[in-house]
Amino acid sequence: MVTKLRSNGSRPAGVELSPLDPAAISQMVETQDAQTADLRLRMESDYGLYLLEAPPQEEGYTKFTSNEPQVFADKILSWLANANLVIRFPLGQKPREHRERDDRKEQFIQGLLKWVDENLADLALPGLREQLSFFIVLRGLFAGRALFIKTGDGTTKLEVMPWDPLYTYWGMGKDGLVWACYKMRRTGLELRDEYGVDLGDNDEGYEVLDYYNRYQNALIHEGRCLVAPQMHYAGRVPVFLGAVASAPPIMRRDSVDRAGPTKHYGESIYKPLRNTYRTFNETMGYYATLVRLSVEQGLILYSPTGAKKLKGGDPRRAHTVLSLATTDKLVEMPMMEMSREAGAFVGQVSGEMQRGSLSHTSYGDLQFAISGIALSLLRQGNDAAIQPRVKALENAYSQIIRMLCQQYATGGFAPVDLRGSTQRKGWFADSYSEVDAQDSQRRPLAPVIKIVPVLPQDDAAKFAMAQMARGGKTPLLPHREILDKVLEYQNVDAVLDMIKEEQGEQLSPLAALATLIEALKKQERWDLAGYYERDLERMMQEQQAAPPAPPTGGLGKAPVGPPGLAPSVLPGAMMGMPPPVPVPQGELPLRPPGAPRPGALSEQGRLARMGMVPGR
């Protein structure tokens, strides 16, 4: 029988534990539930908007429920789920050895997150990002548990489980969480399999409290511990908790309902839209009522006494036969019409909904042609809806990663085998041991966590910026800084090595030809490979037969000539100097045939220079 809770090590030195009082813990949960009733009521109401629950409507009127709340929330959830999760250690001026260690830590974190998603998938639950995004968008808060656990056979297990903030309770101290508790409902089978507790089976399951303080974990049901409390050895409360960054808890003095300070803490995506949705649904309900009445228009029956009633069925239905006396008359009531101001009012309310959510262009709805600048401005207006949720999701991942890495850095866990893909979709599979943990303890993990909702034009803008920073005679930034700061690549050194590898294949003609031959052989083009192999052999023979280049004395030194001869008496060709460039004929004046060469001596002048006078 399994009788242990989540435990991952031995008792820390110097820690004295006080016994837990399950009844007192249950009372703390009930007290905070009452203090935060307004917050939890708001969460329930917002979730009803997402489920498109029909609003209350006056009797006799048609109910109308817009799908705007669900479509709006699903759009934000889609952006968060498909955004890029960037986990990077800034390069700075670190030596390559430290940069390679940081790259390994990035892969370690990516592998942990991959492991978490696999565990959640085994439980038939959405991934970590999807669950956190759902709670952040619709609840306005996020919470959950993050623990490394030692199993009975000495292996390491990872548990990261998001909690529904509606059923999460906590106590905050000066240094953070003092305790946290999650109220959950478990079936008898789940309790037996996970905790070894047999409470029997019933249709509704059992309500239990999963309680954590800084040292212990307890499972409580109806004021008693189902399993003996266990140490969790996380060094802190192993729970991450946060809210959408809208406003801190504020207590109002003039509040009519005397709402608590948490009522507007961590607002959901529907913060500016709750009353607008209600007004829009009511107005559209009146429109729907008029449409229904236009089909079933009222009738007036005139009779001598006014007490006569129609017999034979509704005359507005097909194949209906009525019998009326000559003094009776049946006419339709005048058509009911909406006020002329109703259309303008609905348009105003629709505009308020758009300003509080997303522009219609986000859904691809363009009713008229607009310029690219106007389209960009409309898209920028979406930041007010998505950026606070992006910051909250970054905060959640930062807390989870910091908690897990601090636990693993203690060195008390067996090596773990991790796999996953990096930011640039590069696959890796590796084992991380205590050596990595000790290095992380010496140099704490402090990665930069970013959630980047990427549109197709964003990548193009980044590459254009990188090209401008690298272009020109004098680049604005070095190549490593461009890859790290502008393109935000992971493992920049590996990218630079791949660039140099490609350059190595192209700069040398022999290397380029050898690479081409290898590719042809892989494609089984043996005929073409044979041609190029003969060319490669010829080029190598010519290179070996070529005379070696004359040695030089090094930078700034005189050339070294053959022994016994001074370099000053050597011809220019032996010194490695190029031959003089002949002057083209076209640059000298043309000489007619038979004319003396310009500057040439006559016969007498030549004899006189030699000391010989003609006729002597």
**What does the pLDDT look like over 256-266, one tens digit per residue?**
555 566 777 88
Most confident of 81-85, 166-170, 333-337, 343-347: 166-170
Confidence band for 607, pLDDT divided at 50, 70 and 90: low
Confidence band for 393, pLDDT divided at 50, 70 and 90: very high
pLDDT of 211-224, one tens digit each?
999 888 999 998 89
Confidence band for 313, pLDDT divided at 50, 70 and 90: low
Contact 512, 505 (CB under 8 A): yes
Cα(599)–Cα(382) distance, integer angstroms: 86
**Phi, psi at 424, each rounded to 5°:** -90, 20
Which residues, at least 6 apart from 374, have a Cβ–Cβ distance to it below 8 Å?
none
For residue 456, pLDDT over 50 is answered with: no
pLDDT of 496-552, one tens digit each?
777 777 777 777 788 888 888 888 888 888 888 888 888 888 888 877 777 766 655
DSSP annotation of 360: G
Q: Give me the chain's average pLDDT, please.
A: 76
For residue 465, pLDDT over 70 is answered with: yes
pTM for the whole structure: 0.69
Cα(546)–Cα(71) distance, integer angstroms: 75
Cα(567)–Cα(461) distance, integer angstroms: 59
Among 184-193, 532-541, 551-560, name the one with the lowest average pLDDT. 551-560
Cα(94)–Cα(104) distance, integer angstroms: 15
Contact 6, 230 (CB under 8 A): yes
Res 396: pLDDT: 94
Mean pLDDT within 310-321: 65
What is the maximum span of the chain, computed from C-alpha positions, in angstroms? Answer: 172
Most confident of 190-194, 300-304, 317-321, 562-566: 190-194
- CA distances 452 to 85, 342, 420, 423, Å, are 7, 42, 19, 11
Cα(152)–Cα(160) distance, integer angstroms: 19
DSSP annotation of 462: H
Cα(268)–Cα(389) distance, integer angstroms: 9
Cα(90)–Cα(436) distance, integer angstroms: 19
Res 212: pLDDT: 94
Alpha helices in 409-525 (DSSP H): 434-442, 456-470, 479-481, 492-507, 509-522
**Phi, psi at 88, each rounded to 5°:** -140, 150
- CA distances 365 to 116, 291, 360, 361, 375, Å, are 38, 26, 5, 5, 12
pLDDT of 122-149, one tens digit each?
999 999 999 999 999 999 999 999 998 8
Confidence band for 101, pLDDT divided at 50, 70 and 90: confident
For residue 490, pLDDT over 80 is answered with: no
Helix 96-122 with 492-507: angle, nearest 10 deg:
110
Res 329: pLDDT: 74
Contact 177, 146 (CB under 8 A): no
pLDDT of 216-257, one tens digit each?
899 999 889 998 888 888 888 999 999 997 667 777 666 555
The strand pairing partners of 75, in sequence order, are none
Res 373: pLDDT: 47
Joined tokens for residue 214: 């800084």
Res 171: pLDDT: 92
Res 568: pLDDT: 54
Nearest CA to 437 out of 411, 401, 402, 406 is that of 411
**Phi, psi at 505, each rounded to 5°:** -75, -20
Indicate if the alpha-carbon torsion angle 381, 385, 388, 389 is positive or negative: negative
609-615-616 Cα angle (round to 5): 75
Res 169: pLDDT: 96
Instruction: Say which residue, 579 or 257, is predicted with more confidence.
Output: 579
Instruction: Say which residue, 131 or 563, is predicted with more confidence.
Output: 131
In 191-229, which positions are buried (b, 16+ CB within 10 angstroms) versus exposed (e)? bbeebebebeeeeebbebbbbbbbbbbbbbbeeebbbeb
CA atoms within 13 A on the CB side of 81: 14
Cα(613)–Cα(607) distance, integer angstroms: 6
The secondary structure of 201-230 as a DSSP string is --SS-EEEEEEEESSEEEEEETTEEEEEEE
Confidence band for 79, pLDDT divided at 50, 70 and 90: confident
Percent of the chain with pLDDT over 70: 67
For residue 606, pLDDT over 70 is answered with: no
Cα(66)–Cα(273) distance, integer angstroms: 12
Mean pLDDT within 56-65: 78
Nearest CA to 290 out of 257, 338, 253 is that of 338
Mean pLDDT within 179-184: 95
**Token match 């699903």: residue?**
74
